[in-house]
Structure 1
């Protein structure tokens, strides 16, 4: 049996959401002066507005775009876009991982769109982009958090498109280069790439998206917490820091703390560099390890944040689905008992395997230190299952 490694990650947090806090994070560093204040107080509204301005600056969102906070993290932000904007044109939804599949279900079963096409791909693959019709609205995840698959660029999105493009970017924002000229709605949450607290999402809206909100009234009742429109069209107060309902000031201060760290660290270019370095360090281990492989076999579509791995050792692949799930759970238990790596199992709806978050708040040294522990947990679990 393989012996335990001598070195552990200093920060063994590798979950894909909420992700690791920024290096050096402390709750004591967060301002407390507005806690307990009314959500409509001018100072509070300005603090929320500052968070939007800083988000726009760090993510390098075009100047003519507007941002709004939504309850319910990225899920709420995507849902708001779907419920407020879809129905004017035919719709295509890319479904190649759990959340894309959820948006497809919403469009079909809840919004009941009659002009809907679902463009699917198996786990580990990206859909056939030749099927994308620029005359139709499009919904797609930039990066599949649960499949480890990301889009191989967005050259396949037409510049002269007639439809709007709604992009779920929650595990890509702040970690991957994004061409905003190809997108119209970009959603993400506090809890992903910058390790913020959960509960609040952001919808970034292009001028084309605002025009859709101004000109199109959806033929459905939209719940208040998802409502982007008022009687005149887009509710422009949302772009000024005004909240749809009562949001957590603590969560907002934590988000601002993460953004200020990101700006001070070198901005978006440095965040992407850190992410790429982490993914490269994990890749070095994958390439020399015989029992594991990427779920996304094509490197061109492989995520650098939510890296999803499948176990290919025949002693594990020979197990049935429940057996493979039990094997991964045993690995998880071994790692967490040793406090060597937390939350590295695959998403509950994905094929049984491992998922390691390599975003910018993770340190490369911790990826390097954690990899031998994955080997140890695998070998230990194999010995137990073979006994």
Structure 2
């Protein structure tokens, strides 16, 4: 049985967490959480200590992403899933175009496509493991796609859509990309994410960098009288964020660990440093798979391979599920593939908090399991 295989301790990574989210949390973040125990946790989110914490997060993200003048960090409770509905109510005027090439792009597409007050969405699909490109289309006022498809390990370019109608917005889901993949946010109008991936915090919060055009769009849609549930009201989220707060109570521990992670990234060199680190980690596991006789990167086009989520296929002679079980029994966890993809593969996060040397150790552990199962 694979779960009874003992991997030699000298092969094991120092930290065995490789999950696609929630992700590994650094010790420094836990120290920050302890330090906030009597000054932040258990206090009102409407008072200065918490509002200053929110402001620190907002300013740190603007700095990290080198946001252009006029961009604002907006946040709300509920994670990226809540933001899909929030954007459907408050950002799309009439019609959206979506790129759907995995689980998460398809979910936002479904949200706008089933909204009774919007026109049917234009949905461009591609087989899992590949990606499509956006296409300028008359009448589309929002172009949306994930920068990184967490389910498959495919990364997509972030660029404005040539030939799109004047005033159309580019809305990019960066949940597993933000902080780990390079981006020019000026190519987007809304760059949104939740903090449980590269930012090594917890879910349940969405954050977004809004361009002046997106802020104006939200104001205009709100003025139409379209009914919106209070919890999903984008204008309410924007107004509260300008006051360094959320509409309803956020998780303060999430904000503390997020703030510490942003400061850690900035202190080490910002986004350039972070993206070089994830690229290093990703190159180690992709290189290992390319050299293996039984494994191969799932994403065939090397240019589309994500540097923060690596998906590795195994041939029929290998039971990838048995490898995951053996790894988990030895404290190396969350390498299972995305459940709905149904492939004989491992999915490994290479987020910023994960040490590149631990990725190398993981490949050594996989080799040991392959030799001894």
Structures share a fold, TM > 0.5?
Answer: yes
Q: State the alpha-carbon separation in 1 of the partners of residues 160 and 212 from structure 2.
A: 20
Q: State the alpha-carbon separation in 1 of the partners of residues 156 and 285 from structure 2.
A: 20
CA contact (8 A) 1:158 1:182 kept: no
Q: State the alpha-carbon separation in 1 of the partners of residues 163 and 36 from structure 2.
A: 44
Give the corresponding residue for 2:365.
Answer: 373
RMSD: 2.4
Give the corresponding residue for 1:34.
Answer: 40
Aligned-residue offset at 1:360 = 1.2
Find the partner of 1:179 among 170, 184, 194: 184
- List per-residue Cα deviations over 1:232-267 (Å, max 9, x = no partner): xx8433223121101111211111111111111111
**Change in 2 beyond 3 A, CA 1:257/1:212:** same
- List per-residue Cα deviations over 1:330-379 (Å, max 9, x = no partner): 3222111111x210111112232211111111101100011022233345
Aligned residues: 364
User: Is 1:249 the counterpart of 2:240 in the alignment?
Assistant: no
Q: State the alpha-carbon separation in 2 of the partners of residues 236 and 10 from structure 1.
A: 44
Runs of at least 4 residues of structure 1 off by over 6 A?
A: none
Alignment of 1:295-334 (within 5 A): 295-311=298-314, 313-315=315-317, 327-334=319-326
**Change in 2 beyond 3 A, CA 1:116/1:290:** same
Give the corresponding residue for 2:102.
Answer: 97
- List per-residue Cα deviations over 1:258-281 (Å, max 9, x = no partner): 111111111111111111110111
**Change in 2 beyond 3 A, CA 1:208/1:366:** same
Alignment of 1:11-50 (within 5 A): 11-22=15-26, 24-27=28-31, 29-32=34-37, 33-50=39-56
Q: State the alpha-carbon separation in 1 of the partners of residues 6 and 239 from structure 2.
A: 60
**Change in 2 beyond 3 A, CA 1:7/1:111:** farther
Task: Calculate the TM-score normalised by the size of structure 2.
Answer: 0.90
Give the corresponding residue for 2:201.
Answer: 196
**Change in 2 beyond 3 A, CA 1:100/1:22:** same
Aligned-residue offset at 1:59 = 2.4
Give the corresponding residue for 1:282.
Answer: 285
Secondary structure of the residue aligned to 2:363 is: helix
Q: State the alpha-carbon separation in 2 of the partners of residues 60 and 364 from structure 1.
A: 25
My pick for the range that moved more, 34-43 or 156-165, is 156-165
**Structure 2, gaps ≥5 residues long:** none
**Change in 2 beyond 3 A, CA 1:21/1:314:** same
My pick for the range that moved more, 94-103 or 73-82, is 73-82
**Structure 1, gaps ≥5 residues long:** 317-326
Q: State the alpha-carbon separation in 2 of the partners of residues 160 and 117 from structure 1.
A: 15
Alignment of 1:1-387 (within 5 A): 4=7, 6-22=10-26, 24-27=28-31, 29-32=34-37, 33-86=39-92, 88-111=93-116, 113-129=118-134, 131-133=135-137, 136=140, 137-154=142-159, 156-157=161-162, 161-217=166-222, 220-230=226-236, 235-311=238-314, 313-315=315-317, 327-339=319-331, 341-352=332-343, 353-378=345-370
Q: State the alpha-carbon separation in 1 of the partners of residues 184 and 53 from structure 2.
A: 28
